[in-house]
Structure 1
Amino acid sequence: MSETISTVIKERRSVRKYDPNFKIKKEEILEMLKDATLAPSTSNLQPWEFIVFLNPEERKDLRAIAYNQEQIETASAVIAVLGDKEFHENIDPVYDSMYEAGYIDSASKEVLVGNARKTYPYAPEETRKNLATFDSGLAAMQFMLNAKERGYATGPMGGFDKVKFSERFNVSDRYFPIVLITLGKLNAPAYQTTRLAIEDKVKFI
């Protein structure tokens, strides 16, 4: 029987030690990413892209860009999560798809498209990047929980040179790197962590 979501959340750890001989099929990684992108996003405009690193030669370069952290090469895969700062380019394909699926009628589609076109293309780039970062973070967390439910280990990594990453892997100006996620089979226990008392972090009003 599948674990409850509460159990998955409580047992998930950020992992650094992976079995270097363990492989995960591309098809399963795609399934996990598909589930991850069911996360909510700004006006459903899905401001994310992913690069999945499997090739050992590419990962040697990625390891150098990620300050020589060994899990880049020992994990089964590394998923780079990118934000899309021009996510307004998704307006037509997103709402066309919703209309064709029967989820919205033509009048609703016209309102949604009109509102999005009046808002996002004219928003400051910093605002669009912040929205894309937030939404991509939701998808990244959903990916890690999905992986844990399937019995895999993950580790989010913010420590890498984002400028060099974009240069080396030919990331277009439309996208910007947010986080790397290592994925694979646990090879050593992840260390335990504690959390500050929730009573000190919550205020009811």
Structure 2
Amino acid sequence: MKNNDFKDIIFNRKSIKVFDENVKIPREEMLEMIDEAVKAPSSVNLQPWRFVVVESQEGKDLLRPLIRFNTRQNDTSSAMIVIFGDMKCYEKAEDIYSRAVEQQLMPESVKNQLMELFMPRYENAPQQVMNDIVKIDSSLAAMQLMLVARAHGYDTNPIGGFEDDLIAEALGMDKEQYVPVLIVAIGKAAYEAHPSMRLKAEEITRFH
């Protein structure tokens, strides 16, 4: 049964370093969670996030030397979800917008405007600009995935410490097209996580 308590999901999510090794998430539920996570927003709805779910022992053995100080999460989690940003996400624009038209979510005229206005900009964008776009968008999906996971009764740990220049090729991805953004370890916590300190809003906020 899913947890629909919004406050519990938001305020009681914790980063877990060690998971119950006996808990394995079924692929059907993993896909369901990813489907829910990708309701996150993205620039002109290009959805640049791509997921590699590392769940097999062989996959985890491949990942272990690339994740620095995060081997506990790798070894005990149900899966390590490696999130990439697709630098050529604009190549799916025609498909995305056409499906939106078919589902009556936008008129054909809007689709044509989007293609004419934005696609040349994306196709000709400097590499750093595209890198920033896909990383921001994919990070939104990653955060949503962690909240969705808690709603499904699982725990997570976002991991940024890994060999970002090696991980794409190790997982069979084109490193020029797919930039690694984050790894989300997912499973059932093996311990009760302690609260962590946060700065107060007035310390980090300015009003103009």
How big is the shift at 1:174? 1.1
How big is the shift at 1:46? 0.4
Query: Given the alignment of the two structures, is residue 121 of structure 1 paired with residue 123 of structure 2, yes or no?
Result: yes
Partners of 1:54 and 1:154 in 2: CA distance: 14
Question: Hey, what does 2:205 align to over in structure 1?
Answer: 202
When the two chains are superposed, the root-mean-square deviation of aligned CA atoms in Å is 1.3
1:93 to 85, 92, 95: 95
Partners of 1:93 and 1:194 in 2: CA distance: 44
1:101 alignment partner AA? Q
Question: Hey, what does 1:138 align to over in structure 2?
Answer: 140
List gaps (5 residues or longer) in structure 2: none
1:40 alignment partner AA? P
| Contact 2:3–2:153 under 8 Å retained in 1 | no
Instruction: Show CA shifts across 1:96-147 (max 9, x none).
Output: 1111111111211111111122311111111011000000000000000001
Question: Hey, what does 2:166 align to over in structure 1?
Answer: 164
| Contact 1:88–1:116 under 8 Å retained in 2 | no
1:187 alignment partner AA? A
Question: Hey, what does 2:186 align to over in structure 1?
Answer: 183
Matches within 5 A, 1:1-205: 2-67=3-68, 69-172=71-174, 173-205=176-208
* Aligned length, in residue pairs: 205
Partners of 2:4 and 2:96 in 1: CA distance: 33
How big is the shift at 1:202? 1.3
1:62 alignment partner AA? L
SS, match of residue 70 in structure 1: helix
Deviates more, 1:139-148 or 1:162-171: 162-171
- Name the TM-score, length of structure 2 as normaliser: 0.94
Identity of aligned residues (%): 33
| Contact 1:18–1:187 under 8 Å retained in 2 | yes
